[in-house]
Structure 1
Amino acid sequence: MTKLICAALIGVVTIPLFSTMAEASTMSRACLRSDRPAATRSMCRCIQQVANQNLSRTDQKMAATFFSEPHKAQVIRQSDRSSHEKFWLRYKEFGSVVAASCGHLR
């Protein structure tokens, strides 16, 4: 499941150009910095837009780390901490919305 979500967020991501890097936020910057070929500007922008609607800033900061540390997603998913469990439920929903909203950008 984690691999699927990571693939949806990292491997399938394309991002539109931002006029300045100041316009890019936490998730889009992490996406753009990833080494995934599908991390285009349009995909990363779409991911950021979905994140803004579905994740808190704190959630976005944690999720952004998954771009550079994919294994961290697995650690969070398998954690017994209730805060991680609650985050993971929100993150799964976020992943579903990204797939539905941004999947056409592949």
Structure 2
Amino acid sequence: MKQFLLIALCATSISVVAPVAAEASQIKRACLASDRQAATRQRCRCIQGVANDTLTSGDQSKVAKWFSDPHQAQVLKMSKSARDDALWDRYQAFGQLAQALCR
């Protein structure tokens, strides 16, 4: 799960949406600050791009916090609310795409 979180949190896409660029970079910053060996500048930039394409800015804000507290991802996953389930589904899609694009 930790490896999945790292890849998901470090993935970014090539395209960047200008209006959300400042907010969206929080995934990249969290990835770089995670102190994981696989969290290279290039990989974190890639993960940020995937996040820009697949997650809302609100989603990105929440997911960025999971880099320093991965347990919160588990809490959300175990939640029974429809809103949390929808975020988890988006997060999983983001993680899979990030893993595929940001190796």
Normalised to the residue count of structure 2, the TM-score between the two structures is 0.81
Structure 2 unaligned regions, length at least 5: 13-21
> Structure 1 14/91 Cα, relative in aligned 2: closer, same or farther at 3 Å?
closer
The answer to whether structure 1 residue 73 and structure 2 residue 73 are counterparts is yes
Query: Quick one: distance in 2 between partners of 1:35 and 1:70?
Result: 13
Equivalent position amino acid for 1:6 in 2:
L
**Can you list the C-alpha shifts for 1:41-60, whole angstroms capped at 9, x where unaligned?**
00100000000000000000
Alignment-derived partner of residue 9 in structure 1: 8
Q: Could you give the per-residue CA deviations for residues 31-86 of structure 1, whole angstroms, max 9, x where no partner exists? A: 01112111110010000000000000000001101100011110111111111100
Q: How many residues align?
A: 93
Runs (4+) of structure 1 exceeding 2 A deviation are: 2-5, 7-10
Q: Which runs of 5+ in 1 are unaligned?
A: 16-21
> What's the % identity of the aligned pairs?
45
